[in-house]
Amino acid sequence: MSVVGHYQKPSRVRSIWQLMDSVIPYLGLLVAMYFALRVSYWLTLGLAVLAAGFLIRIFIIFHDCGHGSFFRSSRINHFCGVLLGILTYTPFSLWHRKHAIHHESSGDLTRRGVGDVWTMTVAEYRKATPKVRRKYAFYRNPFVMLILGPLNLLLIHNRRSPQDATSGDRLSVWIGNLSILAILGVSIATIGLKTLIMIQLPVYWIAASAGIWLFYVQHQFEDVYWEKPPDWQHVAASLDGSSFYKLPKVIQWFTGNIGYHHIHHLSSTIPNYYLPKCHEELVQLRSVHHIGIRDSLKSLNLRLWDETSRRMVGFCEVRSKVTAM
C-alpha cells in the first residue's frame, strides 16, 4: 500500500545487526546452560527463559525472511530463512507457504483452515456432531494449545509434509529434518542425550508456547473482524482483524515488534524493526484499538465467532443461551 511504502525497504545494516544480536546471544546462552548444569539445574532453567526469548526473536527474523522483508535479495532471504528454520525446528518453504495463505485469507469466514487457528462459528458448533464438538473443545483448550502444542510442532507437525505439499515444501521438510538429525547426532556424541534434552527442550518449549500464544491472541480477541465476501476487505481485516498487542518494551524487543500485528497484516513486506516507527508516524494507524497483557488473557475463554453479535464468545455463553431458549 502506498501509505506504508516508505517503510517497506529493509536496511541491510539493521538486518545484519539484528541477526547478530539474536543468533550470537542465543548460541552463547546454550553454551552457558551447559556449564550451568555443573552448578545447578535451576540456574540452567533460568538461562533457558532468556534463551527462549532470543529464540522467539530468531523466529521473527525467520518469519520476515519468508515475507521477503528482511533483505532486499530474495536469495539471501531464502538462504537465511532456511538456516534459521533449522535453529527453530521449522521447515522454511512449507511454513511460509501456509503462512502466506493465512495473510491472504485472514478475517475471511469462507477461507478458514490454512495457517490459522481453527475457529468455528456459533451456528457451526451447534450443528456439529458431539464428536466434532469434543475435538474442537480439546483443540481450543489452553493446556492443549500451550503445553502440548509445542510438542506437536516439534515432533509431528513440522517433521512431515501434508498431502497438499509442493515439491519445494517436501524439500524444505527433508532439508530441515536431515540437518536437525545431523546437529542432534553431533550434540549427542559430544554432550550426551540427557544433557541435550535438559538444555534444548525447556528452551524450545518456552519459546514455542510463547509463540503459539502470540499467534493465538493476534486474531482471537472479542471484537475481532470476520466477514464474508463480497463484504470482506483486506484493510479492514488487517486493522480490525489483527491485534495491536501493546507489550512492555523488553518483551516487545524479544518478540520482534510482532505486537504491531495490524500493521504487519496491512503490509507484510515491512521489516519488523520498522513496525513501531510506521505506527507512530502514520496518524491513521495510531487510533487502532490496542490490547494489553491483562486484557489479552480474556481471549483464553473465547472459543466461537457469533455472527449475530459479531464478536468472539465462550462456550458458557453459547450453552446458557441454548438453555434459556
Task: Write the DSSP symbol of residue 244.
Answer: E
* Sequential DSSP letters for 282-310: -HHHHTS-EE-HHHHGGGGG--EEETTTT
pLDDT in tens, 75-119: 999 999 999 999 999 999 999 999 999 999 999 999 998 989 999
Cα distance between residue 96 and residue 127, in whole Å:
33
The amino acid occupying position 231 is D
Contact (Cβ atoms closer than 8 angstroms) between residue 242 and residue 262: yes
pLDDT in tens, 180-223: 999 999 999 999 999 999 999 999 999 999 999 999 999 999 99
pLDDT in tens, 249-274: 999 999 999 999 999 999 999 999 99
Mean confidence (pLDDT) of the chain: 94
CA angle 279, 251, 87 (to 5 degrees): 105
Cα distance between residue 246 and residue 291, in whole Å:
6
211 contacts: CB under 8 Å, gap ≥ 6: 56, 59
The pTM is what? 0.94
pLDDT in tens, 276-316: 999 988 877 777 878 999 999 999 999 999 999 999 999 98
